[in-house]
Structure 1
Amino acid sequence: MFEDVLKEKIEYVNEGLKKYLDTDEKPEVLYDAMRYSVFAGGKRIRPILCLSACELMGGNREDALPIACAIEFIHTYSLIHDDLPAMDNDDLRRGKPTNHKVYGEAIAILAGDALLNYGFEVLIQYALNSNLYTKILKATNEIAKAAGCHGMVGGQVIDLLSENKTISKDELKFMHDYKTGALIKAAVCSGAIVGGADDKTVEKLRKYADYLGLAFQIKDDLLDVLGDEKKLGKNIKSDVENGKSTFVSIFGIERSTALVSELTESANEILNEFGSRGEFLKSLTNYLAEREN
């Protein structure tokens, strides 16, 4: 049942993304590069979190779809840039050559820039043409903070500066709260806002997403050591090769595995307060903790 609902939501998001990128505008190579990474096989976790948080509040997912698509564009930009030689220098993403391996570094950088800006263009146009203006503006503020110096960009800088260094547990958590957790929290909170959540409920769901985002990152660190390259679609042990501090390198495999379980349980305890409406998100939270890619 959960898998069927998840698949349907992924298809719903993909259709939305296709509509936004269905263009024959020039320069063609730029749009080709944007589409290449957007449709390279992503799990659509962040847009699904956005839609599901909206539904959790009793809202219509149609109201959250433009926001969900914008979040996926911004997330994809971050992946393109993360893979660049100056960053993580990865050759594979989701089992396919990374963007710069196909289009070259210059076009990959520009495709990432374009997706970041297009995400905000989608949000602004949606606000201007909707009677949900204030809610969309609040959601956009959540996303903007998560994408910038107080989120992904700030986290990436800390990650780069921490290579081949020993950092503390607090520094590690801070880095991933910015790099990975921020956009996950923005996805949940923006969906809840558009769905009609009050400030108190938004903060409650922000805490849920905080637990979820940290569990998600620790699971990623575990998969980088223990995962199957074919299932992951990328090379494993890249963190070790790049001299990165991870939860596994600091806490070890056993404790990291336990942390994923503990954080998942804490996240689900918050969802319990929403009764049956929270069942899909609880299943999704468990799914992410048990995933193999």
Structure 2
Amino acid sequence: MALQIDSALETSLPEEKAIPPVIHQSMRYSLFAGGKRLRPVLALAACRAVQGDDSKVMAAACALEMIHTYSLIHDDLPAMDDDDLRRGKPTNHIVYGEAMAILAGDGLLTRAFGLLAESAFAEVADQQETSLAQRYLQVMAEIAHASGSQGMIGGQVMDIEAEEQKIDLSTMEYIHQHKTGALIKTSLRAGAILGGGSEEEITALTSYGEYLGLAFQITDDLLDVQGDTAKLGKPVGSDEKNQKSTYPSLLGLEKAREAAETAVQSAVEALDNFGPEAELLRQLALYLLEREN
């Protein structure tokens, strides 16, 4: 599936030589730096869970990965988390400079919505697919919300404001539900909506996405404490360096692990009404408890 996504991403961006070449090289550098492709995989897996057609979801899957990559480029900047390593490679601003890194993130974000809009227009042109065009517009609005000031950006803002401060568990949960969880949940919804899922199926996959996003963040926090830099592809201990509250810092390592296990179990249970068509989603949830990067 990752190769299928990479192939689609390759044709979704201007070529490296397109004028001005440096911005397209910078955008491609981070987009093809070896990411897990979790969000597009979730979108495609949700589509398959509702027995939809992958081809109807691929543009949204690519857009989600572009938005995620843009957020990472900006997160790594000196004004944010100030990281020099991402996925085992120098971060974008280390290679291309801060100004170009900012513009590369901007370029990926705007291209993501351009790709979504193009897909909606293509379906409008096909008289047989007007309902799919309407679903694309719904997905576009949901992705915009999930990545905006009341979603991912809002969570990032609160995360910055919480540095060097003691916050309670509910505040930290809000931060992570928006900074990380919102785009993960919306990836599931996008796949289910574009795959033609029923309201019941979309609701179940939304619930799965909420629990999965929580489990992902808890395990991410645990890896920042106990992970291996070589396997993570980025330095461990950055949360402590930036004096951020995390699940291990608030709950302790053991209770944080238990919380992750509970979230994964809840995610799997949300898929109870699906058959083998949702097995990939079940395995993805269970993998979170074993992941090393």
**Under a length normalisation based on structure 1, what TM-score does the superposition of the two structures give?**
0.96
Matched residues in 1 for 2:80 and 2:62: separation?
Answer: 25
Does 1:59 pair with 2:59?
A: no
- Unmatched 5+ stretches in structure 2: 124-128
Instruction: Tell me which residue corresponds to 2:288.
Output: 288
- Deviations 1:113-159, CA, capped at 9 Å, x for gaps: 01000000000000000122011111111111111011110000000
Q: Percent identity?
A: 50
- 1:166 deviation in Å? 0.4
Instruction: Tell me which residue corresponds to 1:6.
Output: none
Instruction: Tell me which residue corresponds to 2:167.
Output: 167
- 1:271 deviation in Å? 1.1
Matched residues in 1 for 2:279 and 2:122: separation?
Answer: 33
Matched residues in 1 for 2:80 and 2:120: separation?
Answer: 34
Contact kept in structure 2, 1:212 and 1:263, CA below 8 Å = yes
Contact kept in structure 1, 2:204 and 2:271, CA below 8 Å = no
Instruction: Tell me which residue corresponds to 2:189.
Output: 189
**Structure 2 counterparts to residues 80-229 of structure 1, below 5 A:** 80-130=73-123, 131=129, 132-229=132-229
Residue of structure 2 aligned with 1:38, choices 31, 34, 43: 31
Matched residues in 1 for 2:138 and 2:197: separation?
Answer: 12
Spell out structure 1 runs of 4+ moving beyond 6 A: none
**Bigger mean CA offset, 198-207 vs 9-18:** 198-207
What is the DSSP-based 3-state SS (H/G/I as helix, E as strand, rest coil) of the residue aligned with 2:270? helix
Letter aligned with residue 269 of structure 1: E
Matched residues in 2 for 1:49 and 1:231: separation?
Answer: 22
Q: How many residues align?
A: 285
- 1:22 deviation in Å? 5.0
Instruction: Tell me which residue corresponds to 2:126.
Output: none
Contact kept in structure 1, 2:67 and 2:112, CA below 8 Å = yes
- Deviations 1:66-87, CA, capped at 9 Å, x for gaps: 1100100000000000000010
What is the DSSP-based 3-state SS (H/G/I as helix, E as strand, rest coil) of the residue aligned with 1:244? coil
Instruction: Tell me which residue corresponds to 2:250.
Output: 250
**Structure 2 counterparts to residues 226-237 of structure 1, below 5 A:** 226-237=226-237
Contact kept in structure 2, 1:272 and 1:278, CA below 8 Å = no
Letter aligned with residue 239 of structure 1: D
- Unmatched 5+ stretches in structure 1: 1-8
- 1:198 deviation in Å? 2.7
Does 1:28 pair with 2:28?
A: no
- 1:203 deviation in Å? 2.2
What is the DSSP-based 3-state SS (H/G/I as helix, E as strand, rest coil) of the residue aligned with 1:123? helix
